[in-house]
Amino acid sequence: MTACVAEEPIKKIAIFGGTHGNELTGVFLVTHWLKNGAEIQREGLEVKPFITNPRAVEKCARYIDCDLNRAFNLENLSKEMSEDLPYEVRRAQEINHLFGPKNSDNSYDVVFDLHNTTSNMGCTLILEDSKNDFLIQMFHYIKTSLAPLPCYVYLIEHPSLKYATTRSIAKYPVGIEVGPQPQGVLRADILDQMRRMVKHALDFIHHFNKGKEFPPCAIEVYKIMEKVDYPRNESGEVAAVIHPNLQDQDWKPLHPGDPVFVSLDGKTMTLGGDCTVYPVFVNEAAYYEKKEAFAKTTKLTLNAKSIRSTLH
């Protein structure tokens, strides 16, 4: 008999759209749900749709002063509120007050943070903790429900890369990333996929709260290893672009010696090292400023114990 982890029932859920104001699927869905939220309501649950960065949404820009999705570190959240603070730091404090405080018993149980990427990532779930049985079980449920449509899990647990995401105020933070979609554009297929991901996630929580026991499961995840910058010249300008063989090949194996970049004079740069990696966020538009051409990941399997709600 395998051990069953008893978890507290879920009570409060938030669905964030517009953390980046030019990623329109989340903005569009959350705006719709604020007017008519019937499809996201579940018995016994408080589900709150919320536009996180309204000024950026109004301008259809990623952010106003700084990236809201990197602003939720304890240093920013504890700064004295003042008009001199960057807009997104002030907004982070407001969101932390409404849905947190971060790392407290009073914070929302689950935050779904809805994002688009210009990269060919398909349906992607972002996991921050490889030992979280509840989230692994949820992601397994979503992946199974979406099949045969692929759904990938990106694990951003890393000793030195700290993200301080908007969703990190919740006990169970869930990043939902769907692409490819250009910034400032809506696509019906991407919209439908994100909507289905949210539906299945809410269904999972509903079943869990009703006492359904989820047996042990395993999921395949792609764990971040490192970020790779574009080749640059002495002035720091981009000197080569993503090679055509790598473009749109998110999640596909990339072997040492495979072409990665190509310069305007036709020089090809290849992957170094001695191991196969899996690239993600390949040529993401928003990451040029972050000096990230793609991230290397390694593929591994995470296991979760059986879980059920303590109510039953």
pLDDT in tens, 3-35: 777 778 999 999 999 999 999 999 999 999 999
Residues annotated within a binding site for N-acetyl-L-aspartate:
62, 177, 287
Tokens of 260: 């990665």
Residue 279 has what pLDDT?
A: 98
- d(CA 79, CA 180) in angstroms, rounded, equals 36
Report pLDDT for 80: 84
Burial pattern 73-82, b for ≥16 Cβ within 10 A else e, equals: eeebbeeeee
SS3 (DSSP) at 143: helix
Question: Largest Cα–Cα distance of the chain, in whole Å?
Answer: 66
Asked if 229 and 295 count as a contact pair (C-beta separation under 8 A), the reply is no
DSSP bridge pairs for 277: 254
Q: Which residues of the chain have pLDDT under 50?
A: 1
pTM of the model: 0.94
The whole-angstrom separation of Cα 253 and Cα 257 is 12
**Gap between the Cα atoms of 212 and 139, Å rounded:** 16
Catalytic residues: 177
CA distance 125 to 280: 12
Q: Are 283 and 293 in contact (CB under 8 A)?
A: yes
Separation of alpha carbons 293 and 280, rounded Å? 9
Supply the pLDDT for residue 82: 83
Cα distance between residue 57 and residue 121, in whole Å? 23
Q: What is the pLDDT of residue 8?
A: 86
CB 259 within 8 Å of CB 245: yes
Q: Detail the residues annotated as belonging to a binding site for substrate.
A: 69-70, 163-167
Give the tens place of pLDDT for each residue, 235-255.
Answer: 999 999 999 999 999 999 999
